[in-house]
Structures are given as C-alpha cells and as structure tokens.
Structure 1
Amino acid sequence: MTGMRFFRQSPAVVKIPPNILPELRAGILVCTSPRSGSNHLAGLMASAGLGHPLEWFGGRRLLELPGYPRDPRTQLLRALTEGRSSTGVYAIKLFASQFKQLAKKVNLPASLPNLSYVRLTRDDLLGQAISWARARQTRKFRSTEISHVPPRYNGQAIAESLEKLLMENAAWGGWFAKNGLSFLSLTYEQVQRDPAGSLTKLAQLVDVEPNWGPELQSGLEIQRDALNEEWRKRFLSENADPSSFEYRTRK
C-alpha cells in the first residue's frame, strides 16, 4: 500500500501501582551471564537484605513454576514485590539474552524506580563455559539440585558456550557504553574471595547500612571439581593455537 509507513512499537513503561511504590527504597539490576556465580551472589544478597535477584523475566522462573506469569509487565510487578527485602531494596538478575527479548515489550530501566546497576562477570571465561556446558548437559544448575545424567565431555558444547558467553559480555558492554550508564563491577572471583566486602559495596550503592554478621551464607556450594579441570585440559589440548586469531567484522 503506497504511502503507508510502519513503525516499530515502542516498549511500554510499566506504571507501578501506588500501593507498591512507597515500599521501594532502591533497586539493583544484576547484569550478568550464565554460570557467573549469580546464584551464589543472589543468596548472599538475600541474606544481607539486599533484595532477591532471581530471573524474574523468564529463565528458571518459567521452568520451576508452571503457573508463573508469561506477561513481562506482570513479571515486573512480581520482581518488585517478591524480589524485595524488608529493607525496601528489590533486586533482579538478568542475562543479556533475556534482556533482548524483554526490551521488545517493556522499557525496563524507565519502569524500575531508583535503579542501580551491577555488572557481574567471571574472570575465568573458559571455566565459565565448561561449567555452563556441564550444567546444561546434566540439568544441575545449583549444588542443591540432583543430576540424573552423568556428565560427559563435549568439546563442541564447551566451544559453543564460550562463544555465547563472549556475545553476552559484548552485548552488556555495548549497552552500558552507548547509554552512558555507570555501574558497580563485581567478579565471581571477587565475591568468592571477599563476600562481605562485595556486599558492602552493594549496600553503599543503594545507601543501605551494612548489617550482617560473619555467618553470612548463600546456601550453595561450589560445584566445580576435578572433572572440570580434566575437561579444561582436554579442551585446550584440542583447541589451543596461539597463532590463530578470530576477529569478525560486518560486511
């Protein structure tokens, strides 16, 4: 039809109900990728009264709760209520792949009040990829879960996981850069080494007085074991080549 123009519909800004808004002191959006230690950080944050940063927008909420809402606007309200601690701090964990889908329907930054950003990464990218490939194979994503499938080495799955993680990191980096957004940077290794110090930085981010004891725990244990190291050595023996360098550009 000549002369007709089509526009992409702008994502909606979700209006927060007046009975919820006064209860929200501040928010934390944990921007991360799979197997970054985000479950461990989420448990620590919950223990410290810094929200409950779960995958409120799809992900494991949909897998674990059959009746969980599919509407992202309803999911957002769940994050602001069930994801909120008694301190008034709410928290959300989000992967770049999830954000890509969510941004088609909801303007998340504009919908969340008093929002601060945390960028959680993992220094050991290959270890992260191995962990993700293993978790996807066994369906055991937390130490509290039971694996019914024995893990078996799959170099292609590790390589694919590594590539996807690099894309996740690049997507977050580009989004922060092009929007001029500031964020608190944390690594999995840093949280493991100094959980109290990491939580103190988070508390300062949302202007909350640190109030937790030395018994602070996430409720999870490290899943990495000797098998992960065996897979690393095998993967490197099959793929390591310092003379090769991949750099993709758009044509």
Structure 2
Amino acid sequence: MFKAYIICTTPRSGSTLLCKLLASAGTAGNPDSFYHKPQFMAEWATDWGISTDEGGSPEAFDRKYLAAAILAGRAGTEVFGMRLQYKYLNIVTKMLGQIFPGVASDASRFSRAFGDPLYIHLSRTDKVAQAVSLVRAEQSGLWHLNADGTDYERVSATGEVTYDFSRIHREVTTLAREDTAWSEWFAGQKIQPYGLSYETLADHPIDALQSVCRALGTTSPDVAYIIPELSKLSDSTNDEWIRRYKFDLDKLKVS
C-alpha cells in the first residue's frame, strides 16, 4: 500500500474531479494543490497559521509548510494526496531541496518528504479541447460547475468570451510541451507513473476512482454512496471553437 500519491497534471485535465473523488473515498486523503502560485501558497500558510518570517529562515518555513501540507493532504487518513501541475514542479523541488540538502534527485527528495509515492500522470489526449477549455475558463472566470449547474469555482466576475485562435494555439503548444516534460521528468527520475486520461476519468469517473484506489492499495470505496460532484463545462461553444481552430490551423498550414 502506498502512503502517498502525487497527481502530476496540467490545467483542464480533470484533476479537480479526481481530487474530489479521492477525497470522497474516505481512505485516500484530501489531495489539493499545496504547491502552486505564491499567492495561493501564502493563503494556505495563513490558513495553517504559518508566518513567512516564522523561524527566521526559509528552511524553517519550508519545513513547517511541508508538515502542514502533509497533515492537510492526509485529512485524518493514512494516505497523503497532492495535485501538482508541471509549471509548479520547480517550486516544490526547490523547497524540498532546502529541507533535504545533498539529496541526489527530485524523486529521492519526494520520497524523503512523503514516503515513496504513487505518481499518477493525469493527462488529456485531446489538446485542442483542453486548450479551448483553458482559454474559455480564463476569459469567463468560471472554472468548475457543481453537478446541479451552480458555480463551484469562479475566480472573477463573468467576462466576455470570444474565440481567439492565437491564444488557443499558444495553449495547445504549451500544454503539449508540459505533458511531454512530465514524461521526460518521469524517465529522468526512473519513475513508472500510473497513467490516467481525462477522457477515461470524465466518461467513467467511478471506475477511474476504483482503479486509482486499487493502484494505491487502499480500501475500495463504497461506490453506491459516491456521486461525482462536478459537471462538465464543455458545451456547443467549445465545439464551435474547436472546429474553428482546426479550420484556421489548416488554412495556416497551406498558406
């Protein structure tokens, strides 16, 4: 049985859904993005009662932050869970490097910090759909919906949503590069991750949850009492943007 897991992912790959499903299992902690943008981490630290100048050194803060993150990620269970986007990998490796100086590799530092974790590589096969979803979320401010259609995560007031080929293309390129970077990092660290696709998770969320729990070696949840709490945001607007992007990309290739 693994005592920890790290969901290695990129934006709009279904990680919020997977985190909520794993939390609902009751045996696999409460995974979240404990290492993320500095302002988000500052909010976590405040919630945990940790001051940025506490202890007088960055290492002292990093140690207290790690301990609090582990406590939150376990949520009273025996298993620690964490979500990590590739763009923030350098933040956690730098902080763990200060806590464990002289440790040879990223994987070794993760093992020292969390125990030998299961690495879950959650990726989305359709990068165009992923990029469209990301651009639309950034424009609208709405990132997730509850199953009943109400807002679950809205980071700003409703904004104007407009098709933008250049922006979508930039995100397609970035998302593909970050997924490749994860694969290269796994190879370089000699890690064999557990692979899970957004498409499988979105179409069969309960089956995906059970498969992850089996990979972890945790008690399988009673699925009769687990209902996915989030609803897909994708609609006809997403479909239209995907069609327009592919059409515009084809025109660009032949011009």
Q: Tell me which moved more, 141-150 or 182-191.
A: 141-150
Output the TM-score relative to the length of structure 2.
0.78
CA positional deviation for 1:62: 4.0
Query: Once structures 1 and 2 are overlaid, which stretch shifts more, 62-71 or 154-163?
Result: 62-71
Task: Give the Å deviation of 1:83.
Answer: 1.2
Structure 1 residue identity aligned to 2:206? A
Deviation at 1:77, TM superposition (A): 2.1
Q: Is the 8 A contact 1:79 1:91 kept in 2?
A: no
Matches within 5 A, 1:2-151: 26-49=3-26, 50-59=28-37, 61-62=40-41, 67=46, 71-106=61-96, 107-143=109-145, 144-146=152-154, 147-151=157-161
Residue 211 (structure 1) aligned to one of 221, 235, 241: 221
The alpha carbon displacement at 1:145 in A equals 3.0
Q: Tell me the amino acid that sits aligned with residue 56 of structure 1.
A: F
Structure 2, unaligned stretches of length 5 or more?
Answer: 53-60, 97-108, 146-151
Structure 2 residue matching 1:31: 3-state secondary structure: strand
Q: Could you say what the CA RMSD is over the residues aligned between the two structures, in angstroms?
A: 2.5
- CA–CA separation in structure 2 for the residues paired with 1:242 and 1:151: 23
Alpha-carbon separation, structure 1, partners of 2:42 and 2:125: 28
Structure 1 residues 130 and 63, CA, compared in 2 at 3 Å: closer, same or farther? Answer: farther
SS of match in other structure, 1:54: coil
- SS of the residue 1:240 aligns to: helix
TM-score (normalised: structure 1): 0.79
Separation (CA, whole Å) in 2 of partners of 1:129 and 1:227: 13
Q: Secondary structure at the match of 2:230?
A: coil
CA contact (8 A) 2:205 2:228 kept: no
Structure 2 Cα separation of the partners of residues 57 and 161 of structure 1:
22
User: Closer, same or farther in 2 for the Cα pair 1:45/1:114, shift >3 Å?
Assistant: same
- Conserved 8 A contact 1:56-1:78: no
Structure with greater proportional helix content: 2
Match of 1:155 among 159, 165, 171: 165
Count matched residues: 221
Q: Quick one: structure 1 residues 66 and 152, their matched pair in 2 at CA, closer, same or farther if it must change by over 3 Å?
A: farther
Residues of 2 paired with 1:224 and 1:78: CA distance? 35
Identical aligned residues as a percent: 25
Amino acid at match of 2:92: L
CA distance in 1, matches of 2:45, 2:128: 33
What residue ranges of structure 1 are gaps of 5+ in the alignment? 1-23, 245-251
Q: 1:179 to 1:161 in 2, by over 3 A?
A: same
Do the aligned partners of residues 186 and 72 (structure 1) sit closer, same or farther apart at CA in structure 2, a change above 3 Å counting? Answer: farther
